[in-house]
């Protein structure tokens, strides 16, 4: 499982107004909960974090992730760097990429998504609004061509990836960019790292 993590300077900028001085801590906490849930998923052999920032790198390595340096040439380039490491470590395994901002992610729901992905050469999970992507997966030996960013759902569909429109994986689809997203994720059940930071600024 590849998880790209932005530098803290760039992370969660749309939450700056609500989070204030807690924005960077929130970004690290969200990534930590995402990685922790992935590590707890029985179908995930390892988590490879791709980042150029030493703070989340250290935090996520402590949780058990393998950390790879981000070449800093965009999100999809970062994912391909993670893919290269995944293939080096285990060339016969399928590979998936997961957005780092899924603070309510549940291992069982991720397992359902990955089980569904195992039926197709290339597949993806759309985000909750239905325009972006939270998970992209390929089987072993299949070209890894992530198309994250902006309206990535349409690009993944156009590229031939199978859309996994499952009804029972809300925490896999609930990425967090705005305070409204965070409140929705809170209702689903935040992971402990995010919950501790969000409690400092998020009203009831």
Q: DSSP readout, 100-126?
A: S--TT--HHHHHHHHHHHTTSSEEEEE
Q: Please tell me the predicted confidence (pLDDT) of residue 204.
A: 53
> Could you tell me the two tokens for 177?
């960019």
pTM: 0.95
Q: Please tell me the predicted confidence (pLDDT) of residue 19.
A: 85
- Do residues 101 and 31 lie in contact, with contact meaning Cβ atoms separated by under 8 Å? yes
Residue 124, phi then psi, degrees to nearest 5: -155, 160
Ranges of beta strands (E only) in the chain are 2-5, 48-51, 66-69, 95-98, 122-126, 133-138, 162-163
Looking at domain 2-198, does it have CATH number 3.90.550.10? yes
- Count helices and strands (H / E) in the chain: 9, 7
Low-confidence ranges of the chain (pLDDT < 70): 203-204
Task: Say whether 149 counts as a known binding-site residue.
Answer: yes
Task: Say whether 130 counts as a known binding-site residue.
Answer: no
Residue 107 neighbours by CB under 8 Å, 6+ apart: 37, 38, 40, 41, 42
Q: In the chain, what are the domain boundaries?
A: 2-198
Residues forming a β-bridge with 75? none
Nearest to 102 by CA among 160, 173, 179: 173
């Amino acid at each position: 499982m590849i998880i790209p993590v932005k530098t803290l300077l760039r992370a969660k900028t749309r939450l700056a107004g609500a989070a204030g001085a807690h924005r960077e801590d929130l970004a690290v906490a969200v990534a930590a909960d995402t990685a922790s849930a992935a590590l707890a998923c029985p179908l995930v052999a390892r988590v490879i974090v791709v980042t150029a920032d030493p703070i989340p790198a250290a935090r996520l390595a402590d949780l058990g992730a393998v950390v790879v340096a981000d070449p800093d040439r965009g999100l999809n380039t970062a994912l391909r760097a993670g893919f290269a490491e995944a293939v080096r470590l285990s060339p016969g395994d399928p590979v998936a990429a997961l957005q780092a901002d899924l603070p309510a992610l549940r291992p069982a729901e991720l397992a359902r998504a990955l089980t569904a992905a195992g039926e197709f050469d290339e597949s993806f999970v759309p985000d909750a609004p239905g325009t972006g992507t939270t998970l992209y997966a390929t089987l072993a030996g299949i070209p890894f061509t992530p198309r994250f960013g902006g309206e990535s759902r349409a690009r993944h569909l156009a590229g031939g990836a199978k859309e996994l429109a499952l009804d029972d994986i809300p925490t896999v689809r609930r990425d967090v960019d705005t305070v409204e997203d965070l409140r929705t994720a809170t209702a689903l059940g935040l992971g402990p790292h995010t919950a501790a930071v969000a409690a400092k600024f998020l009203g009831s």
